[in-house]
Amino acid sequence: MKLKSKIHLLMISSNADLGGGPKQMFSLGKNLNDNFEVFYALPKNSNYLIYLNSKNYIQISERKINIKDVFNLIRFIQKNNIQIIHAHGKGAGVLSRITNLFLQKKLIYTFHGIHIKCHNFFTNCVYLIYENIFGRFDSHKIFVGESEKLYAKRSNVFVSNNISVINNGVENKLIKEKKTYLGNSQDKENISRINVISVCRFVEQKNIKDILKIAKRIPEIDFKIVGYGKLWKDIKQLIFELEIENVQLIGMKKNVFKYLYYSDIFLSTSLYEGLPLSILEAMSVGLPIIASNVVGNKDTIENGISGYLYDLKDLSIAIKYLKELALNEKLRNLMGYNSFKRQRKFFSEQKMISKYENLYTKVLMEM
């Protein structure tokens, strides 16, 4: 339906890394229909520049509340006649809620992961008090997966009745038919070896040390980790100290699919997630998934059908599953095809975009 005038929508993220939240935000901004005009509030990051221009963007601080940001946002929202504010993640939620106390616009908040179990008692208490006070001012809350919603309710996070579960979605890709090599002689020589890939930011949440522990115990399998972050030097040093020879750190890459198509299995060892785009992207090309059985990860695959979930405390099970898939090409192909079909059915970008378009229109029309 074509509206008489465009809906002006402001997306806010306080994350300076191009992680799942910002990726989903830009996916929305790029693909929403012509009824919407999208604006952004983000920290400075050169990776964001292809999505931004001087008219649709305002810079904010990274992961901290700055009074100057609040006043600048108020002016930006008023100048551009913003009707809906959509906050992505906890930091953006704090800034948006404070700003909106002065504006009373429609405010949508997406959690992108609830991390209570990873903080101390005092921090959790402060977070719950904050969320149960300020969360009441949201017009609508979005959970990116069913397990995230259930975890919020179990953790006594204020939820309200105005909630939706909208799965993250990724672009549909061609299924991986056979392994290709990346262009150098060494990779061509090792093409017969099983390659396990992980794509993640180098932060505590992603639990990369467990990837190294697993790799150390399976020297016959190669592991590649695509990504970058503040723990890069620590992980590189640990590989050296443990004398691990079958792990390659790839770094940040714009075309991650080049590496996904080269790989045989995707591994996630995360401590928690919202709904990880990295796993969904691996599913979109038909990779079987082995992932920690945590909030977010457990929404992606069907255990034993499109991959395996393992308990974080039991790496031996993850190792068992990796060996099983490495030795059984038929099983790898079957689970990979099942993950491919599941991504198409539940986690496609097109379905996600359609649900957000309907939600934005509905929220704006509510009194």
Distance CA 227, CA 182 (A): 17
Please give the pLDDT value at position 303. Answer: 98
Distance CA 274, CA 22 (A): 13
Residue 183 has pLDDT above 70, yes or no: no
Topology of 7-169+348-365 in CATH? Rossmann fold (3.40.50)
Residue 20 has pLDDT above 90, yes or no: no
Identical topology for domains 7-169+348-365 and 185-346: yes
Residue 181 has pLDDT above 70, yes or no: no
Tokens read off for 192 = 């017969």
Of 67-76, 120-129, 197-206, 304-313, where does mean pLDDT reach its minimum? 120-129
- Cα angle 19-24-27, degrees, rounded to a multiple of 5: 125
Distance CA 235, CA 197 (A): 16
The continuous run of DSSP H or E covering 291 comes out as strand 289-292
Please give the pLDDT value at position 160. Answer: 87
Distance CA 143, CA 22 (A): 15
Mean pLDDT of the residues in the chain: 92
Please give the pLDDT value at position 23. Answer: 87
Helix (H, G, I), strand (E, B) or coil at 13: coil
Tokens read off for 132 = 């149960």
Please give the pLDDT value at position 18. Answer: 74
Residue 188 has pLDDT above 80, yes or no: no
Distance CA 125, CA 139 (A): 24
Please report how many Cα atoms fall inside a 13 Å half-sphere around the Cα of residue 102, on the Cβ side.
14
Residue 120 has pLDDT above 90, yes or no: no
Percent of the chain with pLDDT over 70: 94
Percent of the chain with pLDDT over 90: 81
Helix (H, G, I), strand (E, B) or coil at 237: helix
Distance CA 283, CA 287 (A): 5
As a whole number, mean pLDDT of residues 115-137 equals 88
Every domain of the chain and the residues it spans? 7-169+348-365, 185-346
24 or 307, greater pLDDT: 307
Task: Indicate the residue type of 289.
Answer: I
Please give the pLDDT value at position 57. Answer: 94
Whether the CB-CB separation of 235 and 208 falls below 8 Å is answered with yes
Please give the pLDDT value at position 3. Answer: 56
Residue 119 has pLDDT above 80, yes or no: no
Residue 187 has pLDDT above 60, yes or no: no
Topology of 185-346 in CATH? Rossmann fold (3.40.50)
Burial of 130 (0-12, 13-18, 19+ CB in 10 A): middle
Strands of the sheet with 265-268, listed across from one edge:
247-251, 222-226, 195-199, 265-268, 289-292, 307-310
Please give the pLDDT value at position 139. Answer: 96
Tokens read off for 40 = 């952004």
pLDDT digits (tens, 9 = 90+) for 245-265: 999 999 999 899 999 999 999
Task: Indicate the residue type of 185.
Answer: S
pLDDT digits (tens, 9 = 90+) for 32-43: 999 999 999 999
Which residues have CB under 8 Å from 110's CB, separation 6+? 21, 86, 87, 88, 89, 141, 142, 143, 144
